[in-house]
Chain A
Amino acid sequence: MHLVETFHEGPWSITAVVGELDVVGGPELRQHVMAQVGEGSSRLVLDLSGVDFIDSFGLGVIVGALKRTRLLDGDLRVVVPAPRIRRVFEVCDLDRVFKLHKTVQEAVSTQ
Chain B
Amino acid sequence: MREQQFASFRLDDHLFGINILLVREIIRNVEFTPVEHAASGIRGMLNLRGQIITVLDLSTVLGLEPRVVDKNSHCIILKTTDESTRVMGADEIDDNIGNEVIGILVDDIADVLSIDDEDLESAPANAKGIDGENLQGVAKLDGKLLLILKMRKVMSHWMGRSQSGMLSSMKETSV
- A and B bound? no
